[in-house]
A and B are shown apart, each in its own frame.
Chain A
Amino acid sequence: MAFDVVGKRTVRKDAVAKVTGRAKYADDFFERDMLVGKVLRSPYAHAIVKNIDTSAAKALPGVEAVITHEDLPRLKYATAGHPWSLDPNHRDVADRLMLTDKARFVGDGIAAVVAVDTLTAEKALKLIKVEYEVLPFVLDPEKAIEPGAPVIHEERPDNVLGASNEEIGDIKEDFSKADRIFEGIYETSIVQHCHLEIQTAYAYVDSDSRIVIVSSTQIPHIARRIVGQALGIPWGNIRVIKPYLGGGFGNKQDVIVEPLTAAMSLAVKGRPVRYALTREECFIDTRTRHAMKFYMKTAVTKEGKMLSLHMRPVSNNGAYASHGHTIVMSAGGKFRLLYDFNSIKYEPKTVYTNLPSAGAMRAYGCPQIFFALESHIEDITREMKMDPIEFRKQNLISVGKMDPHSEIVVRTFGLPECIEKGKQLIKWDEKLKKYKEQKGTKRRGLGMACFSYASGTYPHGFEIAGVRIIMNQDGSVQLQVGATEIGQGSDTVLSQIAAEVLGLPYDMVHIVSQQDTDITPFDLGAYASRQTFVSGAAVKKAAEEAKGKALEIAARRTGLSIDALDIKSARIIEKKSGNEICTLEDIAMESYYDLVNAAPIDGNASVNMRTNAMAYGVTFAEVEVDMETGRIEVVEIYNVHDSGVIINPLLAEGQVHGGVSMSLGYALSEQMLFDPGTGRPLNNNFLDYKLQTIMDTPEIGSAFVQIPEPEGSVGQKSLGENTTISPAPAVRNAVLNATGIAINKLPMTPQKVFEEIKKAGLL
């Protein structure tokens, strides 16, 4: 396929707005006399609120309202940013109140103050007297499911939020046929998204008595529904506006501050109230990535064919359901289309604990599951003395493979090519030889890891996207999308698709970079790396409709058939000769002002995408381990992706860099820590939570194997989340290659590595 705009390194639609400071985020809008909302949080990990005395807080000058659970509708709601399901069995767990009468983690919201300014609000919080009955608490999910453990939600006395048992094929038979059986335990830790813009919203009641909420959300249409459910008001009475957004990574695919912000405004008769979290609050009362522990057991033939896999993940969900069991289930569906096992038994359990709630985070369970799988496979290859790349290659699936549960079919499979490319980039064979016999205090090693990922949530989720295109008098268009730009570049790539289909230069596509549920076409928002694939299909459909209307006018003018005409560079041409007939502007002007036939050109599309496309990739990493300090330095790293056609290489590289950097933090330094004696967070700030800085981040190589995906509107598959799946296990495997030490728990901090080096007697 030859493209004019798709595949080009066009600059971001929002780049100028962002480098000049003109891009306005949710906190950058001001209403006159805007009030400030603040929340009183539980100091206990588990406690019943016996009594709250708000009288002193209410009496403080400048305090406009104090609210507790008693002032709010007692409607338990679910916060996960999934589309509503008409099937009651397919809904998220509704286990949450806006303010609680039972604290389930340190930081749980007990009461809220609305005041004239932040200082007054904070002062008022200190005047609220809460009587708690402190309960025993549990932080470890394996302890939480033991009999007699503290019960976190009365509705689930065993603390099990979800448990499944899926079997494909016959694992018993395959294990009986195996020459070798391998077992391993792998663990990941709790980390956080750390988007630079915290969760923030403000709300007011407008002149026709509807609640307007301006919020930093990835999912405005879903946020509207959930606010309606939490407050018990008709969804049509709520309007959610999403301006520019300072990063989300899944943490804003959850409705966290919006319902309470609306309740705060209602408590002061609809006056504007802003509720912005502090960074410290953001760490504990938004969402985290589930820590998971995997029990793995694999049956292998002596030739190295993996027959069967039995995987048992235990997922630490924290205090409230949020996306809950869906995450480990979703990841379980994605890894199955990578290696060709005869049989798989997947038994995940998602467990409530008295910790901050885990939710969606970039790649939705896959960084966890692939850390376990790719570490485990590496361990198998070492035990069997087999080449780790050849071993993986001979176990890969091939095109045409269908998952029997999801019925997703792999139509394009560029992973073998990705592996070859990565191998060359890092000079695998040459360096492996070089690093074979190392004895020094600094040892180098190579590692790799593969992954598979989907494009959107179909068939488990519903995938709808809405787009409207309006042609202006000069032939340029306004592109209105329900898809949300959160930094990942969707506005830019969707504009490129529109320009491509319409035959317009990129600059003639103007995108409305704001979603407003009163105006914006219905779309589910930014998650599951769905937008380029799903919303991209809707853009193509709407653009084709608009193009058809323009060509219809051109055909009427010329007497030629529509099929004989095309649009190129905003001009109507005759296909056969390539000759220009008129400008698109001529046609657009006619569509607006022709006295008889005027009908401005537009396109409206809603696409319900009932298909999916598996995307693949691999990381190759080289590390240097300091045997005396345990410090791991990533010397070289490459991510090679099979994401179909790359619509914008400049932005795609940016996605790879960001995803790899996030995964390096996951591998090496990031971890939320809690005091085992109290459940209190120990490092809920950017000083003590070790995010990668520019000093920690190596040069990151990216490459793409582009095989057009037949179901992609321009051949594309997912990319955004994919980038953060395989670096951590690749680094772990490189450390193993360098030192012989298998580190099976993330993060691989210097202290942990040092202790392992000591244990292995290598010091």
Chain B
Amino acid sequence: MENYENISMEVNGKAYSIEVDIRESLLEVLRNRLQFTGVKQGCSVGECGACTVLIDGLPVDSCIYLAVWADGKKITTIEGVSKDGELSKVQQAFVDEGAVQCGFCTPGLVLTATSLTDSGREYSDEEIKREISGHLCRCTGYNKIFNAVKKVLDDKQH
């Protein structure tokens, strides 16, 4: 079939080799084909950040990233963040700080925060906000999200 192509990618440490429609977004393949439903669809055009996944460690809106581009890439979805049933530090901080309400923006935010903490860099408050500004959240007013991210970054830096 002319519209289909084989891709190989790693999702949360596991190798997948699948045939995808060349018109499909990575979001669609992750959700509908592989059932990583923690990847949320909020706008489908890269405006809200709910569908964020890490591609080779960097946060990307998977709704505007074609699945075929993921060939050879390492993808992390929210399902791959906790290890052996233990929450990551970012996840734990989101829980403890009350940074979660409806939870729809949460997976994307946790992933962006994870990429910040994994980067080993230091971030000023303004930089943290800038990094997070691609995520829309209607419930929290961002205050507790900021606190959670800052807490993890501060713990890392000291």
Contact = CB atoms under 8 A, between A and B. Distances in A.
Interface stretch (A194-202, A328-336, A450-458, A581-589): A194-202
A750 interface: no
A247 B102 contact: yes
A196 B133 contact: no
A249 B98 contact: no
B138 A658 contact: yes
Nearest to B80: A21
A18 interface: yes
B22 interface: no
A19 B144 contact: no
Given A24-B37, A30-B35, A693-B136, A487 B103 contact: yes
Contacts of A247: 101-102, 104, 138-139
Interface string A8-27: 01011011111111111101
A244 B87 CA distance: 20
A669 interface: no
**Chain B contact residues: over half helix, strand or loop, or mixed?**
loop
A30 B33 CA distance: 10
A726 to B, nearest CB: 15
**Chain A contact residues: over half helix, strand or loop, or mixed?**
loop
A245 interface: yes
A55 B96 CA distance: 57
Given A694-B132, A699-B143, A20 B100 contact: no
Interface stretch (A263-271, A413-421, A646-654, A735-743): A646-654
B154 to A, nearest CB: 17
A687 B96 CA distance: 32
B42 A651 contact: no
B141 A487 contact: no
A662 B77 CA distance: 29
A697 B145 CA distance: 12
Contact of A15 (B43, B100, B130, B143): B100
A653 B98 contact: yes
Contact of A279 (B40, B45, B146): B45
A303 interface: no
B152 interface: no
Among A660, A685, A686, A700: residue with most chain B CB under 10 A: A686
A693 B145 CA distance: 12
Contacts of A651: 98
A197 B104 contact: yes
Nearest to A665: B138
A21 B42 contact: no
Nearest to B35: A30
A245 B102 contact: yes
A198 B36 CA distance: 18
A28 interface: yes
B50 interface: yes
Interface in B6-37: 23, 31-32, 35-37
Contacts of B64: none
Nearest to B41: A27
B28 to A, nearest CB: 9
B138 A691 contact: yes
A661 interface: yes
Contacts of A656: 141
Given A686-B48, A700-B141, A195 B102 contact: yes
Nearest to A15: B95
Among A19, A23, A195, A685: residue with most chain B CB under 10 A: A19
Contacts of A489: 101
Interface in A6-64: 9, 11-12, 14-25, 27-28, 30
Contact of A246 (B40, B110, B141, B145): B40
A552 to B, nearest CB: 38
A22 B38 contact: yes
Nearest to A488: B101
Given A11-B95, A279-B43, A685-B43, A19 B106 contact: yes
B8 to A, nearest CB: 23
A715 to B, nearest CB: 22
B105 A20 contact: no
Interface in A632-685: 650-651, 653-654, 656-662, 685
Contact of A119 (B23, B79, B87, B95): B23
Interface string B116-146: 0000000000000110110111111111111
A685 B144 contact: no
Contact of A197 (B40, B133, B135): B40
B110 A658 contact: no
A279 B44 contact: yes
B6 to A, nearest CB: 20
Given A196-B104, A685-B43, A686-B48, A700 B38 contact: no
Nearest to A650: B98
Given A193-B138, A658-B141, A686 B47 contact: yes
18 contacts: A19-B103, A20-B91, A21-B107, A22-B79, A25-B40, A27-B41, A30-B32, A194-B138, A195-B104, A196-B104, A196-B105, A198-B41, A244-B103, A487-B101, A654-B139, A654-B140, A654-B144, A661-B142
Smallest CB-CB A-B distances: 9 pairs: A21-B38, A487-B102, A18-B103, A246-B104, A661-B141, A657-B141, A21-B78, A686-B47, A28-B37
